[in-house]
Structure 1
């Protein structure tokens, strides 16, 4: 009977929404802990990924209207059944062995062990009951990023340099910072000494970087096409210090970054190979350091679209990309310390860029705060 009712009027009512809350019948059934009703609605084609006006989805609503004494048990049973009935409700967790092939010359905080430690912590969380293992869909099945993905963020010259270096590098990792400074014509006396380089390039670095960026592209497609509710991409090397040409102007290095994974995914969403995947993208960067590379790429993208004066062939325009970075910041003006990378103290609202500065302890209470607005 429930299935018949759900298919009433050709199923048009199965995702009908309450005027004020945006709640669907599936959300109402989940809130009440009515498993049979939930499964009937899903069978009739109800959207398991729908959210209400507050952006809350079905899994968060399960058993919310069940009495407190029964809530935990009902919630566990209904959530598990929903995850099995609608696998797209699971969190997509992506990782790949290629990301362990990027090796630094010396013991280094940005190492392959970072990924194994994260995966071990996640596995432990499922074991001790922090979450159910069924909530995750773990996959290593995704392609490397292509040049078409990279060129939306990085210059042809930079892509050529890292591609050639990836083909030429021997077993000993190359100190990438002075290598690229030399390529750009910086006198050797001003280049960073190899022993102080924070970024290295090993035989597996290019494969790792392309796989990392490819993971973000795959995650973006999976979420925006409705195959996954959300995604966590556990990859390396990181990317937010890589700008259009690698290290940004004035930065001492590219800070462990080779290609900008997040922006490659963001611009793929706006200008994808097979058409635009979403209307607008917000990139929010929460890190101890300013995402200077991401900001530079965002600014370049905005400038390109503003200069064109019209929407791109993909349909995207300058208002469709927003970037916010939350980070420690000290440009040396309030102390004798210039905290890496020395940027991110000002907003750039003209380019939809907001920097939220957290004052370091060495500045003292009352200093720092939000960046000022630039013209």
Structure 2
């Protein structure tokens, strides 16, 4: 059965300026690589619907959600923090980014597709309950995970995050919350300078030093993620798929290559096959070197497809 590929034309409208790394061309680079690699024929494409306020409020404070609607500009740029802003199309893009993950959950749970990748922007894992930051407005992957529990009654959902930056927003939502497990790797010390120190049992963080490559990621997954995931026995897995740890991406200083992303995806898939009926929903986070981003997404999809 083909893996789902879920996106929306609305996601291209969000534009924080020509010099900003989180730009619409990221989605074009992914689509170009889908075609040139030949993997597109193994995918089933869907357009995302917009998330509802009720779905956003599974994770975010209602007053915060209202503030994003109120501050959405009709012209020009609205600055939310030093590196996060909105143009007139940003709210629609953010609603469809979160909605894509919700839609992926619905389609996977209905058995239409075994797993799905959501090619969306803006990303989400830095968005906290009541705060936009780090290019993120709504926490797409946390909203999807919360929807899986709320709508389908799943008792145990796991989120894995291999973006180069710590997903502080996701951790803020998951920590100490029954029914959730978060496993993440990230460069440290580095933005947002969080993710270390005392943590609850359901948050497994594996910070990596600048210069670490695939071997460091693989050790972290094998030594810490896998024991926690096997003990937790998730009924669905979610992936914050950030590809800014690639050695060609100058956003940070990790040294991953495409094969590392394929390996970690294949490893996660084995866990999902054992415990979750193969159910995985993945969403794009970072990745700013366009060619490396496209190639890495293809590797990730190959891992999901199993070929």
CA distance in 1, matches of 2:100, 2:85: 21
Contact 2:175 2:200 in 1 (8 A): no
Aligned to 1:143: 49
**Displacement of 1:357 after TM fit?**
0.7
**Displacement of 1:361 after TM fit?**
3.5
**Displacement of 1:347 after TM fit?**
5.6
Superimposed CA distance per residue, residues 107-131 of structure 1 (whole angstroms, 9 cap, x where no aligned partner): 21101110011111111111xxxx4
Instruction: Within 5 Å, give how 1:334-349 maps onto structure 2.
Output: 339-346=190-197, 348-349=199-200
Instruction: Within 5 Å, give how 1:247-286 maps onto structure 2.
Output: 247=132, 254-272=133-151, 275-276=152-153, 278-286=154-162
CA distance in 1, matches of 2:141, 2:148: 11
Query: How many residues matched?
Result: 216
**Displacement of 1:299 after TM fit?**
2.3
Pairwise CA RMSD = 2.1
Contact 1:105 1:200 in 2 (8 A): no
1:290 to 166, 171, 179: 166
Aligned to 1:92: 4
More relative contact order, 1 or 2 (CA 8 Å, 6+ apart): 2
The 3-state SS of whatever aligns with 1:206 is helix
Contact 2:71 2:78 in 1 (8 A): no
Residue 221 to residue 346, structure 1, CA distance change in 2 (3 Å):
farther
Contact 1:105 1:172 in 2 (8 A): no
**Displacement of 1:106 after TM fit?**
4.1
Contact 1:212 1:236 in 2 (8 A): yes
Aligned to 1:125: 37
Larger radius of gyration: 1
> Quick check: 1:244 aligned with 2:151?
no
1:322 to 181, 190, 198: 181
CA distance in 2, matches of 1:279, 1:228: 21
Where has structure 1 moved over 3 Å in runs of 4 or more? none
The 3-state SS of whatever aligns with 2:205 is strand
Aligned to 2:102: 217
Aligned to 2:207: 357
> Quick check: 1:134 aligned with 2:41?
yes
**Displacement of 1:293 after TM fit?**
0.5
> Quick check: 1:153 aligned with 2:59?
yes
Aligned to 2:75: 171
Instruction: Within 5 Å, give how 1:36-75 maps onto structure 2.
Output: none
TM-score (norm 1): 0.55
CA distance in 2, matches of 1:329, 1:344: 9
CA distance in 2, matches of 1:162, 1:120: 32
TM-score (norm 2): 0.67
